[in-house]
Homo-oligomer: A and B are copies of this chain.
Amino acid sequence: MTDDIFDSSDSVRSARELKYAQTMTLDEPLTLELGGCLRDVRVAYETYGRLNEARDNAVLIVHAISGDSHVARHGPSDDPGWWDILVGPGKCVDTDEFFVISPNILGGCRGTTGPNSINPDTSRPYGRDFPTITIGDMVELQRRMIDQLGIEKLHAVMGGSMGGHQVLCWATKYPDRLRGAVALATSPRLTSQALAFDVVGRNAIQHDPYFNDGQYYDSDAGPDVGLAIARMIGHITYVSREAMHKKFEQTRLEPREVPTAFEKKFSVGSYLGYQGDKFVERFDANSYIALSLAMDLFDLGDSDDCLAEKLAVSKCRWLIVSFSSDWLFPPEQSRQLVDALIAKDKPVSYCNVHSNCGHDAFLLPDELDSYGELIRAFLSNLDGSAPGDAATPSRPQPRSTSIFHMERLDYDRIMELIPPGVSVLDLGCGNGELLSRLSERGHERLIGLEIDEKCVLSCVRRGLNVVHADLNDGLAAFGDGQFDLVVLSRTLQAVNDVEGIVQGILRIGNRCVVSFPNFGYQKLRDMLYKQGRAPSSTGVLHHQWYNSPNIRFFTLADFEDFCREKGVKIHKRIGLDTEAAVEVHDDPNRNADIAIFVISK
């Protein structure tokens, strides 16, 4: 098919032999989490690049429900893999640098033991006798494989969707075996909505009259209709409404001529019929049931506390990525993971990549410049070197909530205010300049919050921990007194809920450093008083009253009044005249254009 509406993430074709797959058979049975064990378990896997002498450059890539071991092509003549855009020589997961291992997962149907494998007890395919497996069982098999490959510690484990569940499981079950965890488009457990779709899919398969209670391997016909229906439902959930609109809306009544017995009245119908039929050719219905059930049973807990406890044992660094239009594994669920890691002081970076592609975004090239580069940057900073070493030159911040980010003349002064070694949360951290300086000075517990996606990437490139978030959504993720110091530099004037943010930083930080433009500065007063014009800041971006990102106008004295009114302790008050580059001691409310306060509860 070359018709572009039939392009999909489903790049594995039925006819292809997995000719590069190696196999390994476990010498000991695999004991399963929900009881029972499997004997003679086989795992099919492919590798890319070379394991270095230190045996410390291995990256394990684990696939989602319909994937397999063929993550990338092995050469120009090979078929593309399902993550070809990401994995290969010079690519974001650079196989010139890393030794990539990609296994087919337990319960799959592409070489690793699954329901269509021969049951050694009966010499027939398992079928209905295949036991209920879990994500933990998949990871246990992968761990045994890694053991047999003689790898003590993985550089990273990475995966999306159900692959992300395996990553979460790796980091909590074998915390000493990986340096980095990359979890894309995933969740602590499925939403009830996602679970519901899976249930309907399984019902369609299991009530197909050809399912025959799972023992269809000897028959001429299997539960093809049921599996195709399940796949169609899945396909709808993998893409966003916007993506479907773009793909089908203009040709709504022009179905493609595809050889399917399913309804073809609408273009989207012909697409679904085609996808359903193709899936049946290459996938085993029992596998689909086993894997979707394992995913549905995966559960790191329904409460934030429970989730945090589960993740508390992890020892790796984390990169969590969600996609804004993913409604199957919505961004809130990734944020739950991030918040739980934050609560336990785990080193985590997070980005909610803006995308119209839905859940499938992590398999598509559209946002590769964002998620792919985040992965590249994260992997390159996992070697234990001090954050900042691997930094690309710091670049001007492309879109900022503050008018002042490009000069940051107050950073020197703020640096002096921060005692050595303290933990710091930098709210509105931009491209990470302050955090990098702190890191270079030896501070260890550092994390930034930043609204701009490109700035988040800059921070990750610098090896910093950064969370992509909007301050206006609040600071509930952070615990009481979690940081020695919270920095809110030149950001307060751009937030909506000033009281909420100030309350938040006072709760989180033992001390807080707040800086902001002072609209009591004489030049600004003169503008209003003498010229009758709105005070316009002298920042380099030259915003006007009608297009400024700043929405709160207040003076140094206003802020002092505010602190008094709210019972906030002021430990230090500094006025800067950034034009003259001097600290102002005489009447700072009039003579300083920037104010810096150190405050606490």
CB of A539, distance to nearest CB on chain B (Å): 16
Does A562 count as interface, using CB distance less than 8 angstroms? yes
Contact B552 A266 (CB under 8 A): no
Specify the main secondary structure of chain A where it touches its partner: helix
Does A498 count as interface, using CB distance less than 8 angstroms? yes
Measured in the bound complex, the distance between the Cα atoms of B373 and A386 in whole Å is 62
Chain B residues near A37: list those with CB within 8 A.
Answer: none
CB within 8 Å of B: which of A284-308?
Answer: 293, 296, 299, 302
Measured in the bound complex, the distance between the Cα atoms of B203 and A552 in whole Å is 57
CB within 8 Å of B: which of A551-586?
Answer: 551-558, 561-562
Contact B202 A263 (CB under 8 A): yes
The one of B272, B296, B519 that contacts A266, using a Cβ cutoff of 8 Å? B296
* A552 and B546 contact, Cβ closer than 8 Å, known pairs A263-B206, A296-B266, A532-B520: yes
Measured in the bound complex, the distance between the Cα atoms of B528 and A524 in whole Å is 9
Copies in the complex: 2
Chain B residues near A313: list those with CB within 8 A.
Answer: none
The segment from A17-25, A147-155, A246-254 found at the interface with B is A246-254
Chain B residues near A534: list those with CB within 8 A.
Answer: 519, 553-555, 558
CB of A347, distance to nearest CB on chain B (Å): 29
Contact A302 B209 (CB under 8 A): no
Measured in the bound complex, the distance between the Cα atoms of B559 and A532 in whole Å is 11
Measured in the bound complex, the distance between the Cα atoms of B525 and A555 in whole Å is 13
Chain B residues near A199: list those with CB within 8 A.
Answer: 232, 262-263, 265-266, 268-269, 272
Does A417 count as interface, using CB distance less than 8 angstroms? no
How many of chain A's residues have a CB under 8 angstroms from any CB in B?
Answer: 73
Does A545 count as interface, using CB distance less than 8 angstroms? yes
* A533 and B555 contact, Cβ closer than 8 Å, known pairs A195-B266, A200-B233, A203-B229: yes
* A191 and B589 contact, Cβ closer than 8 Å, known pairs A532-B520, A534-B554, A534-B555: no
CB of A575, distance to nearest CB on chain B (Å): 12
Contact A241 B191 (CB under 8 A): yes
Chain B residues near A197: list those with CB within 8 A.
Answer: 236
Measured in the bound complex, the distance between the Cα atoms of B554 and A535 in whole Å is 8
Does A538 count as interface, using CB distance less than 8 angstroms? no
Q: A262-290: contact bitstring with B at CB < 8 Å (1 yes, 0 no)?
A: 11011011001100100000000000000
Contact A263 B203 (CB under 8 A): yes
Does A123 count as interface, using CB distance less than 8 angstroms? no
Closest to A297 in B: B265
* A193 and B266 contact, Cβ closer than 8 Å, known pairs A528-B520, A532-B590: no
* A532 and B554 contact, Cβ closer than 8 Å, known pairs A204-B229, A268-B199: no
* A245 and B528 contact, Cβ closer than 8 Å, known pairs A229-B229, A302-B250, A546-B499: no
Chain B residues near A244: list those with CB within 8 A.
Answer: 191-193, 196
Closest to A519 in B: B534
Contact A547 B196 (CB under 8 A): no
Contact A545 B533 (CB under 8 A): no
Closest to A289 in B: B263
The one of B191, B520, B554, B562 that contacts A245, using a Cβ cutoff of 8 Å? B191
Does A207 count as interface, using CB distance less than 8 angstroms? yes
Closest to A545 in B: B554
Q: A337-360: contact bitstring with B at CB < 8 Å (1 yes, 0 no)?
A: 000000000000000000000000
Does A72 count as interface, using CB distance less than 8 angstroms? no
Q: A386-421: contact bitstring with B at CB < 8 Å (1 yes, 0 no)?
A: 000000000000000000000000000000000000
The one of B209, B327, B546, B551 that contacts A241, using a Cβ cutoff of 8 Å? B327
18 A–B pairs (Cβ distance < 8 Å), ordered by A: A192-B244, A193-B244, A195-B248, A195-B268, A196-B272, A199-B265, A200-B272, A203-B225, A203-B228, A203-B232, A252-B302, A265-B296, A266-B296, A519-B534, A525-B528, A525-B532, A528-B555, A534-B555
Beyond the given A192-B247, A545-B552, could you list 17 further A-B residue pairs with CB under 8 A, ordered by the A residue number?
Answer: A191-B241, A191-B244, A191-B245, A192-B244, A196-B232, A196-B269, A199-B232, A199-B266, A200-B236, A207-B261, A241-B327, A266-B296, A498-B545, A531-B557, A533-B555, A533-B561, A551-B552
Contacts from A to B (Cβ < 8 Å): 191-193, 195-197, 199-200, 202-204, 206-207, 209, 225, 228-229, 232-233, 236, 241, 244-245, 247-250, 252, 261-263, 265-266, 268-269, 272-273, 276, 293, 296, 299, 302, 327, 330, 498-499, 519-520, 524-526, 528-529, 531-535, 545-547, 551-558, 561-562, 589-590
